[in-house]
Amino acid sequence: MIKEGVNKRLMFYLAGVLLLLVVVHVPRDEAPVQYVDRHSGQLVTEKIPGERWLLWLYDNPAGELTLNALVKRKFVSEIYGRMMDRPSSVKKIAPFVREYDIDMSQFRDTVYGSFNDFFMRRLRADARRIDPDPAVLVSPADGKVLAYRDVTGEDFLIKGNRFDLPAFLGDTALARMFAHGSMFIIRLAPVDYHRFHYPVDGKVLYEKRIDGSYYSVNPLALRRRVRLLCENERGYTVIESDRFGRMVMAEVGATMVGSIVQTHRGPRVVKGEEKGFFRFGGSTVVLLLQPGRILIDEDLLVNTANGLETAVRMGERLGRALPAAAGAAAAETAAAEAAKTAAKGAAATGEIIEVPATAGTAKEKERP
């Protein structure tokens, strides 16, 4: 009885401390999330669903406790995803479309069975123009992009914090291959079209999945914890392209992303072809290219250097292959065959893990 009384008093004490932290905490003045509209050149302030909730989670002691104890867990996102699968969630669609001014004329469907059906909506065939030039790398998704010419040598998002390439890939040998290479980070907000597409023509070499947490990838969160992209659940595909050589396309999960669904089958890929989609929630696609492969469009580099994302659409140009890249890619493909035996030996030491294309990121059957 005495022990039970002590435990109750301790619980009340902890609850009181937690409540005090919430009440007395004064949130810092938060700069709005802004991005550049690429077509107009105007600076736009982003309307963020659940902004107050995000600020509480990432800038409040009680919120951070909740984040690390509960919100980052996969089961929380899965539960919310199932809620968005219920027929009753349909009532959320119309207010969401009005609030965020979504142009529904560019999508195929007009009737949805749930909010998740709406979230996974498909574009009309003529809604996006895919740049046909084989020397052009296109955006794999609608979203806000950051572009880095040298991922190893440049600060990532916040001064003094660099992108940890080996941690992100979970493969030190692959990370060495892309050291000093170029990187694009395309952030998909909950209001965006949430299917992702191949940015080049090429061939799938292998895929890999890395388990992790489900932190938010919104700038409000990344400003505080730049390593979140390396901590979240993610999967990536290594692609061989004639014009751009070997590249990585990665999909990163986030808070309330029910799952990442891969719909493409087969080794050959076509630029603009659907690769997969995210279920409910904001999320991110990352592209990595080897050094000397691409000339990134200058406006993307300038905006990134100024700490601003640029709004892009799927199929829109991000950069152009450097003239020497095509020849280097052909030589690299031939050399890769000769290196397979050595790679198998290195795999035994944990340096390289070669994953067959059929055994990579878990595939889920797409719903009709």
* pLDDT at residue number 357: 33
Each residue of 185-225: pLDDT tens digit? 998 888 899 999 999 999 999 999 988 665 445 554 455 55
What is the three-state SS of 50-99?
CHHHHHHHHCCHHHHHHHHHHHCCHHHHHHHHHHCCCHHHHHHHHHHHHH
- Catalytic position from the list 59, 142, 171, 192: 142
CB 284 within 8 A of CB 187: yes
| pLDDT number for residue 99 | 86
Q: State the catalytic residue, choosing from 77, 241, 259, 283.
A: 283
pLDDT greater than 70 at residue 318? yes
**Residue 331 to residue 94: CA distance in whole angstroms:** 53
**At 48, is the pLDDT very low, low, confident or very high (cuts 50, 70, 90)?**
low
| DSSP output for 184-231 | EEEEE-TTS--EEE-SS-EEEEEEEEE--B----SHHHHTT-TTHHHH
Selected residue with higher pLDDT from 163 and 210: 210
Does 142 participate in catalysis according to the annotation?
yes
Task: Give how far the C-alpha of residue 155 lies from the chain's centroid of Cα atoms, to the nearest Å.
Answer: 19
- 114 as an active site residue: the answer is no
Under a CB-based contact definition with an 8 Å cutoff, are residues 322 and 294 in contact? Answer: yes
pLDDT for residue 36 is more than 70:
yes
Average pLDDT over residues 26-54: 70
Q: Mark out the alpha helices in the chain (DSSP H runs).
A: 2-24, 51-58, 61-66, 74-83, 93-99, 115-119, 165-169, 172-177, 219-222, 228-231, 298-305, 323-348
Looking at residue 116, its pLDDT comes to 85
pLDDT of residue 260: 83
Q: What is the pLDDT of residues 104-115, one digit of tens each?
A: 999 998 889 998
Q: What share of the chain is helix, strand, coil (3-state, %, to 5)?
A: 35, 25, 40
Place of tokens 């008093």: 9
147: helix, coil or strand? Answer: strand
Quick: pLDDT tens for 276-298.
Answer: 998 776 688 999 999 999 999 99
Q: What is the model's pLDDT at position 154?
A: 56
CA distance 295 to 292: 8
CB 148, CB 300: distance < 8 Å:
no
**What is the per-residue pLDDT for 264?**
94
The overall pTM is greater than 0.75 = no
| Placement of tokens 């109750």 in the chain | 8
Q: Which run of H or E residues covers position 310?
A: strand 309-312
Residues 6 or more apart whose CB falls under 8 angstroms from that of 114 comprise 84, 85, 86, 87, 89, 90
CA-nearest of 36, 58, 54 to 45 is: 36
Active site residue: 131, 197, 259, 297, which one?
A: 197
State residue 152's pLDDT score.
78
- To the query of whether residue 201 is one of the catalytic residues in this protein, the response is no
- What is the torsional sign of CA 97, 147, 169, 196? positive
* Highest averaged pLDDT of the listed ranges 57-61, 70-74, 109-113: 109-113
Q: Are 58 and 228 in contact (CB under 8 A)?
A: no
What is the Rg, in whole angstroms, of the alpha carbon atoms belonging to the chain? Answer: 22
CA distances from 136 to 42, 122, 159, 240, 241 (A): 25, 24, 30, 15, 12
For the chain, the average pLDDT equals: 74
Q: Assign 254 a pLDDT band (cuts: 50, 70, 90).
A: low
